[in-house]
Amino acid sequence: ENRPSFLTILLFADPDFSTSETLPIIDPNVFHKRHLKMMRVLGEGHFGKVTLYLYDPANDGTGERVAVKALKQESGHVLDGWIKEIEILKSLDHSNIVKYKGCCTELGGQVVQLIMEYLPLGSLREYLPKRKVGLPQCLMFAQQICQGMDYLHTKRYVHRDLAARNVLVENDGLVKIGDFGLTKYIPEGEIYYRVREDGDSPVFWYAIECLKEGKFSFSSDIWSFGVTLYEVLTHCEPRRSPPAKYNELMDVGDVQMTAMVLIKLLERNRRLPCPNECPHEVKTIMEQCWSGDPAKRPTFESLTKAFQDIRQ
């Protein structure tokens, strides 16, 4: 009755047989499409669509809920960036960054879906307008975003799309950065990444040098953090959103808000207004994040400390 299993036989037959080659069968990172039961759509951006699924291999409703991100259309150029997004998320491990769980591949091995942990409260954009979030909780979220971003920068990645819509809420006391679709690696010794494509860009979150020269750096993420902080303090209310406010700042002569018009505004040192009831120290932080000179902006390390001090 004690017959050796097929795997044991293989191992005995070939001493050099690598067990890692058999791993995909039991790899916890491989999710099988047939066990994924769709529950509802969580959100959609330019390239991706995120859906809530129940991963239920036992097929009895006891499975776990996971967030599954898929590309909307799989054209070659986008597919490259997609594989990178998965690789980057896989390499990150921090309490303020959404956790990678695995992949779901179609027959033929092409990666199609990214499986990550499901954060039940959605992004700050869904969460904040509905709750009466006080200043202490806003500042706690701000500090957590800085902690996650500091970790990302230590790994030499620039996020390039930091905004309330890309910060996910686990519970009333914990937020995590998600969406690494535009994240780029900055090689040691270099200080910025220059974009070549001119696709859809979240211009109202962009630093002035990103708009003018397409230069993305650790400091341009700081600018976007300033805009994200503004969104948190205005509870992501649509009528006070960055696009809405910049529109109000527009000159009478300008009929339509364009990147050119925005650059003109920023060059005249016009900035988003300070949200009501924003403490003086926080106002100062926002102003520093939006300094026209990237070198004058703080780092996520110093910001984390600053929020710690303010919150005490």
Footprint of ligand ADP on this chain (CB under 6 A)? 42-48, 50, 67, 69, 98, 116-119, 122-123, 126, 165-166, 168, 178-179, 181
Give the separation between CA 225 and CA 290, rounded to whole angstroms. 9
Classify 49 as helix, strand or coil: strand
Closest approach of Cβ 175 to ligand ADP, in Å? 12
Pick the binder of Mg ion from 11, 30, 45, 56 (CB under 5 A). Answer: 45
Classify 270 as helix, strand or coil: coil
Stretch that binds Mg ion, among 135-143, 145-153, 177-185, 270-278 (CB under 5 A): 177-185
Closest approach of Cβ 192 to ligand ADP, in Å? 22
Residues in the chain: 312
Nearest to 223 by CA among 274, 156, 295, 275: 295
CA distances from 271 to 268, 283, 284 (A): 9, 12, 13
Residue for token pair 């992949």:
103
Q: Does 44 belong to an annotated binding site?
A: yes
Q: Is 201 a binder of Mg ion (CB under 5 A)?
A: no
Q: Does 50 belong to an annotated binding site?
A: yes
Nearest to 32 by CA among 63, 74, 72, 1: 63
Nearer to ligand ADP, 121 or 257 (CB): 121
Reply yes or no on whether 161 is catalytic: yes
Give the separation between CA 13 and CA 185, rounded to whole angstroms. 44
Pick the binder of Mg ion from 96, 143, 147, 166 (CB under 5 A). Answer: 166
Catalytic hit among 56, 93, 150, 161: 161
Classify 45 as helix, strand or coil: coil
Residues tagged in the binding site annotation? 42-50, 69
Residues tagged in the binding site annotation for ATP? 42-50, 69
Give the residue numbers marked as catalytic: 161
